[in-house]
Amino acid sequence: MKTVIITGASTGIGKACALWLVNRGWRVFAGVRKQADADALTASDARLIPLILDVTNADHIAAAVQTVTAEVGADGLHGLVNNAGIAVGGPMEYIPVDRFQWQFDVNVTGAFAMTQAFLPLLRQGKGRVVNMSSISGRVAMPFFGPYAASKFALEAMSDSLRVEIAEFGMWVSVIEPGRIATPIWEKAHSQTSNMFDGLPDEMWTYYEKPLKRLLGIIKQTHGPSPDIVAAKVEHALTSPRPRRRYLIGKDAMAGYLLTWLPGPIRDYLAKGAFQ
Ligand SMILES: NC(=O)c1ccc[n+]([C@@H]2O[C@H](COP(=O)([O-])OP(=O)(O)OC[C@H]3O[C@@H](n4cnc5c(N)ncnc54)[C@H](OP(=O)(O)O)[C@@H]3O)[C@@H](O)[C@H]2O)c1
């Protein structure tokens, strides 16, 4: 039986991947941060194995390595899906440094620490790493600066690692969804509104229109079901020819096309999106 670990499996894409893969015969270790989410996961499918795993907590990661090692033995690990993520947005001029740091702690350093900790087991199993990036890992829109920066970093890490470990029979893929209907939008909306409450009023003088637009954009939870992402994750884990990058959704394709345009036109269109 093949074994995979998925971080951030309490909701959204991570949960969809966990259910998708367990239904296709994988042994799935599903990372969650709260016992209640662990209980909910096993209630939805008793085959799932929850791990209490905050990717910013070194003790949690070390305990997860011990648990998984004890379970898989010499077979090693076949997949690690670094999915856990948060989204911090706002004007670069005002976002508090600790918020920016938090964005990187979870989306970048968390994925890095998980990958490093599980590489020995992945080497044993000739496993694959699947990193959950975003179209924001290709195009940095205004007012999504910290989030886009974290996904650009994740893409860079993935490219470096893939070439470093390919000779050991391992592989790294990056998943780049556009907008998907998950709780991340609601969470980002409430966290961003709370953050704005603590920032100087002058921020609104300079950025009122785009910030209202930003809050409007992140308020809506729409988009395709996370299952379309889970199907691509399965491809990345199982295909004899896994891709380096999986763009998912029409908006992701449109975003990707933007990268081919001359800089002034890109900037004009990016500005227009917040008018
Ligand atoms: N939804 C989209 O439109 C979209 C598009 C492109 C890329 N993505 C990416 O997809 C991934 C999953 O997001 P989602 O949309 O499925 O959102 P989500 O439903 O909010 O899921 C995010 C998951 O990450 C977990 N998480 C947050 N901080 C963590 C930490 N420190 N340690 C471990 N887990 C942590 C959350 O756990 P808690 O429940 O405990 O907070 C949750 O399980 C993210 O990397 C996101 O950037 C999403």
Q: What percent of the chain has pLDDT over 90?
A: 98
- Nearest CA-CA partner of 85 in 169, 6, 193: 6
- CB neighbours of 10 closer than 8 A, spacing ≥ 6? 32, 33, 34, 37, 40, 41
User: Could you tell me whether strands 79-82 and 3-6 are parallel, antiparallel, or unpaired per DSSP bridges?
Assistant: parallel
Position 221 scores a pLDDT of 78
Cα 169 to middle of ligand 1, angstroms: 29
Give the separation between CA 156 and CA 235, rounded to whole angstroms: 21
Alpha carbon nearest to ligand 1 atom 23, residue = 8
- Nearest CA-CA partner of 200 in 91, 94, 99: 94
Alpha carbon nearest to ligand 1 atom 43, residue = 8
Q: Which atom of ligand 1 is nearest to the CA of 56?
A: 31
3-state secondary structure of 133: coil
Cα 265 to middle of ligand 1, angstroms: 32
pLDDT band at 76 (very low <50, low <70, confident <90, very high): very high
Give the separation between CA 151 and CA 133, rounded to whole angstroms: 5
Instruction: Flag whether pLDDT at 222 surpasses 90.
Output: no
Give the separation between CA 31 and CA 158, rounded to whole angstroms: 21
- CB neighbours of 253 closer than 8 A, spacing ≥ 6? 178, 247
Alpha carbon nearest to ligand 1 atom 40, residue = 33
The residue count for the chain? 275
The per-residue pLDDT for range 187-197, each reduced to its tens digit, is 999 999 999 99
- Nearest CA-CA partner of 17 in 193, 182, 229: 229
Domains of the chain as residue ranges with CATH: 3-182+224-272 (3.40.50.720)
Instruction: Give catalytic residues, as residue numbers.
Output: 147
Yes or no: say if 110 and 55 are a contact pair by the CB < 8 Å rule.
Answer: yes
Give the separation between CA 55 and CA 7, rounded to whole angstroms: 8
3-state secondary structure of 118: helix
Position 275 scores a pLDDT of 87
